[in-house]
Chain A
Amino acid sequence: MNELISNILIGIGLAFSFFGCLGLIRLPDIYNRLQSATKCVTLGACCILLSLVIRYGFNDIGIKALIAIPILFFTSTSGAHALLKGSHISGFKMWEKSVTDHYSDDTLGKEEETTEKT
């Protein structure tokens, strides 16, 4: 029974990872790619870790996998945020059909001031 549940969880993890990589290929610009890929691939890896916990129970290997889940969540979300901010400051264009961009509306004037000073 445990083995069946863990196999189903591995299947769910594979499907989510596949959707994330498909989004990485199909979506038009870096911001949308980062969004789909981070969400889907992180949850896919978490599903595979959970399947290991269910298959082996709470011994040494299962507890290690349980500790790895929050580490994976926090590092992947913080990394995505840092990469998004860095690429926006570096000046990569958004997709041409984007609706609004309040961030560059608010920060563009300040950046010009700092570059003039330096």
Chain B
Amino acid sequence: MMEWIDFSFWFLIALTALCLLRVILGPTVADRVVAIDIMGIIVVGICVLLAIRTGRSFLIDIGIAWIILSFIGTLTMAKYLERRKLNE
């Protein structure tokens, strides 16, 4: 059943293309930040599918690191939108 996993891999890549469409269309800054945040979670799904396909465990580590980095980036952009300094 490896074909099904290959198909779902390409399907998730098409979903990241949808998020990029919102990045291009988005009228405000906040819309673009939301689309990038959601794209990070979808990339975690792609990493997990690669781990299922190859059976190697370090790909899950990449996924966890990606979750945390995307979270830090989102927090930084939220602070910027609130117009506050980073050490408050």
Q: Within 8 Å by CB, do A and B touch in the complex?
A: yes
Given A14-B11, A72-B44, A78-B71, CB of A25 within 8 Å of CB of B77: no
CB contacts under 8 Å to B, within A88-111, are 89-90, 92
**B15:A87 contact, CB within 8 angstroms:** no
Size class of the contact patch on chain B:
35 or more
Interface residues in chain B, defined as those with a beta carbon under 8 Å from any beta carbon in chain A? 1, 4-5, 8, 11-12, 15, 18-19, 21-22, 28, 30-31, 33-35, 37-38, 41-42, 44-45, 48-49, 51-52, 55-57, 60-61, 63-64, 67-68, 70-71, 74-75, 77-83
Interface residues in chain A, defined as those with a beta carbon under 8 Å from any beta carbon in chain B? 3, 6-7, 10-11, 13-14, 17-18, 20-22, 24-25, 30, 33-34, 37-38, 41-42, 44-45, 48-49, 51-52, 55-56, 60-61, 64-65, 67-68, 71-72, 75-76, 78-80, 82-83, 85-87, 89-90, 92
